[in-house]
Chains A and B, each alone.
Chain A
Amino acid sequence: MSEIKKASMRDAYGKTLAELSVINKDIVVLDADLSKSTRTNLCADKFPDRFFNVGIAEQNMIGIAAGLAAAGKTVFASSFAVFAPGRCFDQMRLSVAQPSLNVKVVATHGGLTVGEDGASHQAIEDLALASVLPGFHVVVPADAVETAQVIRTAANIYGPFYIRLSRIDLPIVYQNDFQFILGKASLLCQGKDVTIIAIGVMIVAALNAAEQLQSENISCRVLNMSTLKPIDEQAIIAAARETGAIVTAEEHQENGGLGSMVARIVTRNKPVPMSFVAVKDSFGESGKPDELLKKYGLTASDIVREVYSVISRK
């Protein structure tokens, strides 16, 4: 698994936005002085009349997005994940979610893998914030191919979206003919002893863990739960029934993230032993992405350890 091609999710976002803007004249793009980093500039350069840089003012950006959407526009608004939803949660709540407006908040630089910039820039709470808002669709693509698909889907489905992308290039998991379906988990590896449910950066860690466990005679199912909301209950219930144990893996706080969402469905439908690979109620710090993932317990070997733990509790 180790030597696969990597690609930028952010580039995929900007390029897809530019492609969509050719046909969809209602797309408007907003950014808050980060367009070179979020890559909305790839679209802005081609469609300057439909791009508004609002400066370093995320609250205002979301309010403007809501006003544009109320007048019929499909609005993509981007910043870093610490700032949107971090800086504009209330605006996402009342100006966008409550009236259910067609605003897509696409945040880059999610998670610890932001790296050297440190705790101030590492969003590990964003998924909890976005998911708690009624009506918001919340999606975490796993690679550049899925990112392009998710952006297309968001442009075509009415309503608020929060989409989290990574700063670092991620290994390509999907072939170009992959078809993302909102609300459907994708099965990356079939297995019968345990299911690893992962998102984003943790997908490749999950696949590596499954490969190692296979050699130790443990058969792992691996699901990419890229849509956190609405979450794929059927896939989760089937995993609990058919494999009898679940480990979740996410680059996010344990509180309110993927693990807690999966646990809610498991306990209600088919309680089985579970374990959670996530950040345990702490902030990040400066370091290389790989060093941080190791220090904060977000690696393939952390998943392997938790798999043994859930299996022992079966």
Chain B
Amino acid sequence: MTIGDQIIPFSPVPDTELSAIAKQLRRDIVTMISTAGSGHPGGSLSAVEIITALYFKIMRHCPSEPGWIERDRFILSKGHAAPALYAALAESGYFPVSELATLRKLGSRLQGHADRTATPGVEMSSGSLGQGLSFGVGTALAAGLNNKKYRVYVLIGGGECNEGQVWEAAMSAYHFKLDNMVAFIDHNELQLDGTNHDIMNIEPLGEKWSAFGWHTIEIDGHNFNEILSSLEEAKNIKGQPTAIVAHTIKGKGISYMENKVEFHGKAPNPEETKKALQELA
């Protein structure tokens, strides 16, 4: 909100409300992907608690002033999970919730993958995996140069960690001592063609981030207490960035999607949508 020239940041919700918000985001995600007829439900649903905690509790941001210079930045590197971000942006007030129905349609502000030029509140254009952490490093370096206190949160997929650029960026964030940045790894153990284990083994993932110099925390990525306490811990880490390896379930919250690689990039049909919304009632 703004009053005159003054920016009033989004008021964090009580912890007890986070679960209900997460459920609402899941309903939004299913509905919008179903309406669009295409999209990526699995990796959108696995990231819901992380994104809910950031937008409704942790980040200083102002939905009516998306460009507020002091805002904390959330960078969605796994751009195919855009529906989760769009749901959070709409529900926190960046644009009307009704606009979610335009996802992937010609002329919509809600493009198939996150688009900085199209959507209020989207920091970076993504969809080509591997690029977000570098953008985050640049954003975090700029905070130092501009004497800004904002923090930078980047969300990366587990499969995305196959990309070499992720590790170039990881090396550089440590080298530049970026303690104002956090990388969440949405570790749902599935990628597009199959399991991480079968396609390209990324383990031991936590040890890799530690070995790259990051303060590394492993959590249950659907448990708000663990998400919130890991973020508090990250705020107190000095001289190094923090990686939060969030163990998640792809398709979380919808029984027939959970741990199913088929729902990486497939919209539910009308019957499946009905069932999903019943489960999320």
Contact = CB atoms under 8 A, between A and B. Distances in A.
A121 to B, nearest CB: 21
A98 B123 CA distance: 13
A63 B128 contact: no
A67 B138 contact: yes
A60 B165 CA distance: 6
B117 A65 contact: no
B125 A60 contact: no
A64 interface: yes
Contact of B172 (A64, A65, A99): A64
Contacts of B175: 55
Nearest to B137: A64
A185 to B, nearest CB: 31
Contact of A64 (B127, B134, B145, B146): B134
A22 interface: no
A65 B138 contact: yes
Nearest to B148: A71
A50 interface: yes
Interface residues of B, number: 33
B136 A94 contact: no
A99 B117 contact: yes
Contacts of A57: 165, 168, 171-172
Interface residues of A, number: 31
B142 A100 contact: no
A91 interface: yes
A279 interface: no
B39 to A, nearest CB: 19
A71 B134 contact: no
Contact of B135 (A28, A50, A67, A90): A67
A72 B131 contact: no
A95 interface: yes
A60 B142 contact: no
Given A55-B171, A99-B117, A67 B141 contact: yes
A268 to B, nearest CB: 29
Contacts of A16: none
A63 B133 contact: yes
B134 A98 contact: no
Given A64-B134, A90-B131, A93-B128, 4 more contacts: A63-B169, A68-B145, A70-B142, A71-B139
25 contacts: A28-B145, A59-B131, A60-B137, A60-B168, A60-B172, A63-B131, A63-B135, A64-B137, A66-B135, A67-B136, A67-B138, A67-B141, A68-B139, A68-B145, A69-B138, A70-B123, A70-B135, A70-B142, A71-B142, A75-B138, A91-B134, A94-B125, A94-B131, A95-B135, A99-B116
